[in-house]
Structure 1
Amino acid sequence: MRLDQALPLYLNHLATERNLSANTIESYKRDLENYLAGIESSTSVDKIEEESIQNFLNNIRSDLAESSISRLIASIRGFHKFLVQEDISRNNPAQYLSVGSKALRLPKTLSAEVINAVIDSIDTSSTNSSRDKLIFEFLYGTGARISELVNTDLDDIDFDSNVVKIRFGKGSKQRIVPLGKSLKVAIENYLTRNRNSLVNSKKPSAALILNAKGSRLTRQSIWEVVNKVALDNKLEDLSPHSLRHAFATHLLEGGADVRVVQELLGHSSVNTTQIYTHITVERLREVFSETHPRARK
């Protein structure tokens, strides 16, 4: 179903199920029509990505008051939540948007040196150290969304061909990402030190990463791991999404073609990927202004 086809269903839901006033519904309608106009209303509900919404919000931020932006974000979140609850969409790309100005900015790009230091900082004496390292290596080494890591099965790892199959949602599109050396070592260490002992012999799980009961690790558990490491390293900008953001930015800074990065990220449109090129251009300007002898004259 397309977004423009889903909008009338949501507005009807607000009127009949939530019994909202005509004025309130009209406000929702204006916000969401504005959203659909900026995000391409003919797009399938399952092809909208968090980055697309973020890009839309960044583009209109200068035109709206902060209060209007907050209301718009609330409207977008409510719309996508409804689509999932009614089984119209399999994924909720607006789930982690927060009402407030922080939601309108891309996460600060963590340098490769910082990320390497973070991974090296994980306590090796911990029982789950190999699991925790794998979570970071996977998110940064593949650019995967947190939901994609949760959905990854052991069979999705091809050790012979050195590739990883990344699946976006149940039964949805998939992409192939190279299996880097560090990630490969992290997976092998996890299989040897943790996973094999966690497998439930009566009901074995296909998941790559398991919890203590031998079931698939949840996205909440992954968030908790990343948050703990962020707190340990006093990094407010460290999150699962910031690792995906760093993956894309570092590739582009290293000279990768934007369309290659688009494929690796699983973006439907190169326009979504373009936002990362803006970040690298800003970084180039910053380096230039700080280092070129004529830049400050």
Structure 2
Amino acid sequence: MMPLITDFKAYLSQAGYGQSSQSMLPAMLADFLSYHNLSEINQTTPHHISQYHQHLQERPNKHQEGGLSESYIHHHVFALKVFFNWLEESGQLAHNPISALKFTQPGKKSREPLSPEAVQQLFAAAKNLKERAVLHLFYSCGLRRSEGHALNTKDIHFKQQLLYVRSGKGAKRRAVPMPAQVAADLENYYRQQRIYQVARNDESAFMLNKLGNRMHGQGYQKILKELIVRAGLPEAITLHHLRHSITTHLLENGMTVELLRQFLGHSFLETTQIYAKVSKQQILKL
């Protein structure tokens, strides 16, 4: 089954899925195949998938007490949907075993945007250039977690004050304009800290962890968590809260929804309108 998993990973890359998805979805598929020990993929039935779904609901969490979260189980189901849809569309499978199955959607967590004052508290809590740069990437530039992971040094043009997202969600590219202070802070991090770090595996990466490897989403979140604790803010805040927050703040300061759509890399205006939490006064202006 390994060649099939490799081909699936190649498909995800060609289809424009983010780096985290290219890693996570094949791993989840491998877990499914290992659980059932299937010798041929066309042997898969809806019962196999339902049985595996039940197994996930009963499986203990390896990292903390309790079971797997609804969101994590949903990601496993999503991995199987993408995989079997790909097989069906590419003619490798005559019947899609997951197409007729229905699964309960996980409850959506509310992501209320931070207030401008809370954002200021985070920046005030930053002790070094790296921490400040992390806040700028996810708040000032509104990057997704996967986009921060994929960011390379060549993607940031300090003098032109532009940051390029080469492979956003859905393989879309975009240019993010940076205010002068944001460009200056990112350049200061790069010239005063980043270039003196030894890049062990990927010299192109803009942000490196302590070991000199490309910074992953989990590493970014760890830095944010440290800032949150110092700032005395709720620990449930994530990188995505920062992206939501800059969306709302820009809209409240007069940016049009169309420009916000381009800034965020959304395909449709409806997505941007749902994404931003705005005041009643702002809604009346749309």
**What is the SS of the residue equivalent to 2:176?**
strand
- 2:151 partner amino acid: T
1:42 counterpart residue number? none
2:37 counterpart residue number? none
1:96 counterpart residue number? none
1:48 counterpart residue number? none
CA distance in 2 between partners of 1:80 and 1:209 (Å): 29
CA distance in 1 between partners of 2:182 and 2:84 (Å): 38
The superposition leaves residues 240-294 of structure 1 with CA deviations (integer Å, 9 ceiling, x where unpaired) of: 01110011101110111101101100111111111145x2134769xxxxxxxxx
2:8 counterpart residue number? none
Equivalent runs, 1:48-197 vs 2, <5 Å: 76-82=74-80, 101=107, 103-105=108-110, 107-123=111-127, 129-169=128-168, 172-197=171-196
Assess if the C-alpha contact under 8 Å between 1:258 and 1:273 holds in 2: yes
- Structure 2 vs 1, CA of residues 169 and 254 (structure 1 numbering), >3 Å: closer, same or farther? closer
2:232 counterpart residue number? 234
CA distance in 1 between partners of 2:242 and 2:225 (Å): 12
Tell me the CA shift for residue 186 of structure 1. 1.7
1:274 counterpart residue number? 273
Assess if the C-alpha contact under 8 Å between 2:121 and 2:231 holds in 1: no
**What is the SS of the residue equivalent to 1:177?**
strand
**What is the SS of the residue equivalent to 1:268?**
coil
Assess if the C-alpha contact under 8 Å between 1:150 and 1:219 holds in 2: yes
Q: Where do 5+ consecutive residues of structure 2 fail to align?
A: 1-10, 16-31, 33-42, 55-68, 88-104
CA distance in 1 between partners of 2:146 and 2:241 (Å): 14
- Structure 2 vs 1, CA of residues 79 and 186 (structure 1 numbering), >3 Å: closer, same or farther? same
2:51 counterpart residue number? 20
Assess if the C-alpha contact under 8 Å between 2:158 and 2:184 holds in 1: no
CA distance in 2 between partners of 1:112 and 1:242 (Å): 12
CA distance in 2 between partners of 1:83 and 1:182 (Å): 44
- 1:186 partner amino acid: D
Tell me the CA shift for residue 15 of structure 1. 2.7
CA distance in 2 between partners of 1:75 and 1:209 (Å): 30
The superposition leaves residues 23-60 of structure 1 with CA deviations (integer Å, 9 ceiling, x where unpaired) of: x8xxxxxxxxxxxxxxxxxxxxxxxxxxxxxxxxxxxx
- Structure 2 vs 1, CA of residues 88 and 147 (structure 1 numbering), >3 Å: closer, same or farther? farther
Structure 1 outlier segments of 4+, above 6 Å: 84-87
CA distance in 1 between partners of 2:79 and 2:173 (Å): 23
- 1:211 partner amino acid: N
Bigger relative contact order (CA 8 A; separation at least 6) = 2
Aligned identity (percent) is: 25
Assess if the C-alpha contact under 8 Å between 1:177 and 1:264 holds in 2: yes
Assess if the C-alpha contact under 8 Å between 2:140 and 2:246 holds in 1: yes
- 1:172 partner amino acid: A
Q: Report which stretch shifted further, 73-82 or 239-248.
A: 73-82
1:222 counterpart residue number? 220
Q: Where do 5+ consecutive residues of structure 1 fail to align?
A: 3-9, 25-69, 90-98, 124-128, 286-297
The superposition leaves residues 69-117 of structure 1 with CA deviations (integer Å, 9 ceiling, x where unpaired) of: x97x67743332335678959xxxxxxxxx875x342x12212222122
Assess if the C-alpha contact under 8 Å between 1:147 and 1:168 holds in 2: no
Q: TM-score, normalised by structure 2?
A: 0.63
2:90 counterpart residue number? none
- 1:180 partner amino acid: P
CA distance in 2 between partners of 1:82 and 1:266 (Å): 26
1:253 counterpart residue number? 252
CA distance in 2 between partners of 1:270 and 1:170 (Å): 15
**What is the Cα-based RMSD across aligned positions, in Å?**
3.7
